[in-house]
Structure 1
Amino acid sequence: MSKANSKSNNPWIYVIKNEDGLLQPYANYDREMFDQMPFDKVLRVNVAQQRSQPRHRLYRVLLRQVVKNTDMFVSEDSLHKTLLLGCGVTEPIMTTAGEIIMIPSSTAFDAMKEEVFKAYFDEAVNIISTHIIPGVDINELLDEARAEANFKEAA
């Protein structure tokens, strides 16, 4: 049985309700995803008010930018798992052969508090700028991600 908050391959799209009662994309990132939705089809929507965690959103947009600008990762999720391992955000599991291995853990809101996520975010940015895209102007990349995510808080 799946949990209500289980992982999904469907991306989160943030929307705001305008004065006419219509939902519209919140930022450019959302608009791109929103434009990919089919017309005249019934869609299942899970309505949840965004937590006040814009840094998490900035992180996801940053992942998207890195994937678009390198050939190293097939998806944002594969980059995310690489960064989790690189930052030591892991959990041990035992293989059927009895070997203990570390697998990526989670940055979900219920799994990681904001202050821990902030430290993770900073280390992930460091890994991106030193190992994944060495020499990239990380401040420029972050500025682009902030604009794309409509990020208002200091990162």
Structure 2
Amino acid sequence: MAKSTEAAPIYVQRFGDKLVGEMQMDREAIARFNAGDRIKVTLHTGRSPSRLRFYWQMLGKLVAATDCAPNAEALHSVIKLDLGYAMPVRLKNGMTVLVPGSIAFDRMTEEEFGNFLERAIGWIAQNYGVTSEEIMNGGLAA
């Protein structure tokens, strides 16, 4: 499947009733429009890169400490499948397989990711008996 040629999003922050480009590259993108131009925008909060980094660090540390999966990506796939973040795909032979969904920024809102993260942390606690705090603070023996 071909990648979309859609332009990268521009992030802004709200100051009063004004929206201001968050980073220099965002401000430069906005500056390409003429003053007074009518610009179409879609408003929603952006994803939090730090929360996504937390998730991947947590999985990496859990895998390193417990050998529960070959790598963080494999554990991630199992979590998505078990939590229902998957789509059934029917193969030519009639067999149906589940394909894990995506948590990519363009596939999941921050609210959806927050729900996924909360469920994933609960799944880890139920299946491995550890909290995210224990994982992140080194409370697991390697």
**Letter of the structure 2 residue corresponding to residue 139 of structure 1:** E
Query: Using the alignment, how far apart are the partners of 2:79 and 2:61 within structure 1?
Result: 14
Match of 1:73 among 69, 73, 78: 69
2:122 to 105, 126, 134: 126
Query: What residue ranges of structure 2 are gaps of 5+ in the alignment?
Result: 5-46
Cα RMSD (Å): 2.3
Query: Given the alignment of the two structures, is residue 113 of structure 1 paired with residue 105 of structure 2, yes or no?
Result: no
Residue 123 and residue 137 in structure 1: after superposition, are their counterparts in 2 closer, same or farther (change >3 A)?
A: closer
The 2-side partners of 1:123 and 1:52 are apart by: 17
Count matched residues.
97
Partner deviation per Cα, 1:52-94 (whole Å, 9 max, x = no partner): 4311111011110111011220011100001101211001211
Aligned to 1:84: 80
Partner of 2:89: 93
Partner of 1:57: 53
The 2-side partners of 1:137 and 1:107 are apart by 21
TM-score (norm 2): 0.60
Deviating 4+ runs (over 6 angstroms): none
State the 1:2 CA deviation: 6.4
**What's 1:140 paired with?**
134
The secondary structure found in structure 2 opposite 1:54 is: helix
Q: Which runs of 5+ in 1 are unaligned?
A: 5-50, 145-155
Deviation at 1:140, TM superposition (A): 2.7
Q: Does 1:104 align with 2:133?
A: no
Higher CA-based Rg: 2
Give the TM-score of the pair, scaled to structure 1.
0.55
- Asked if structure 1 preserves the Cα contact closer than 8 Å seen for 2:55 and 2:117, the reply is yes
* Residue type at the aligned position of 2:124: I
Does the 8 Å CA contact 1:92/1:102 hold for their aligned counterparts?
Answer: yes
> Using the alignment, how far apart are the partners of 2:119 and 2:50 within structure 1?
17
CA distance, structure 1, for counterparts of residue 87 and residue 119 of structure 2: 18
Aligned to 2:36: none
Q: Which amino acid counterpart does residue 135 of structure 2 have in structure 1?
A: L
State percent identity of aligned pairs. 31
